[in-house]
Chains A and B, each alone.
Chain A
Amino acid sequence: QQPVQSPQAVILREGEDAVINCSSSKALYSVHWYRQKHGEAPVFLMILLKGGEQKGHDKISASFNEKKQQSSLYLTASQLSYSGTYFCGTESLKTSYDKVIFGPGTSLSVIP
């Protein structure tokens, strides 16, 4: 029941764009996105709720297609500080609320 993330890893040059995808086999209530730097705790980026919304945070935005049970994280004009591992976390409609299950992560490296 763990969500699937793609790609597993991506290397970008500063200023390039990237898309990270997250998909689930279960009907979803929400999708969370987090970034983790090496050796540190994950940090919350944003959450998207059922209703197909899109959100933005600086040059990072995300969309949620509840019919397809998919979410995508968009990083535009990447900066060196964007490097890290990105995790999506999902809450399913058929489990109790507040149970967040994380994907395996996507490693993003931004190079000068």
Chain B
Amino acid sequence: DGGITQSPKYLFRKEGQNVTLSCEQNLNHDAMYWYRQDPGQGLRLIYYSQIVNDFQKGDIAEGYSVSREKKESFPLTVTSAQKNPTAFYLCATLGGISYNEQFFGPGTRLTVL
């Protein structure tokens, strides 16, 4: 089955530690995205990548970093510079018949203690 895998579903970290969230897809989609979701604020774009070895900052990139070494993988690192990292993180790809439908992974809920 094609889809997007995010792991783990729940993640706890101590303040000051970097943490990497995994996102893997087998949909063969070129574009991948990371969104952050906080209650009442919708989905905010952190980073996106249209092709391998290339990515662009979204609206809230500060304190985050990404890499895109393979088409299937787009990991997100939440660094200690991110002031309020506790949130629900969603990875998505862009594809579909007209190449303009976003497919979302199940999400990772990160809690920083």
Contact = CB atoms under 8 A, between A and B. Distances in A.
Q: Do A and B bind each other?
A: yes
Interface of A: 1-2, 30, 32, 34, 40-44, 47, 49, 87, 89, 91, 96, 98-105
B59 interface: yes
B90 A101 contact: no
B42 A2 contact: yes
A71 to B, nearest CB: 14
A21 to B, nearest CB: 15
Interface residues of B, number: 26
Contact of A89 (B41, B56, B58, B102): B102
A42 B43 contact: yes
B98 interface: yes
A43 B31 CA distance: 17
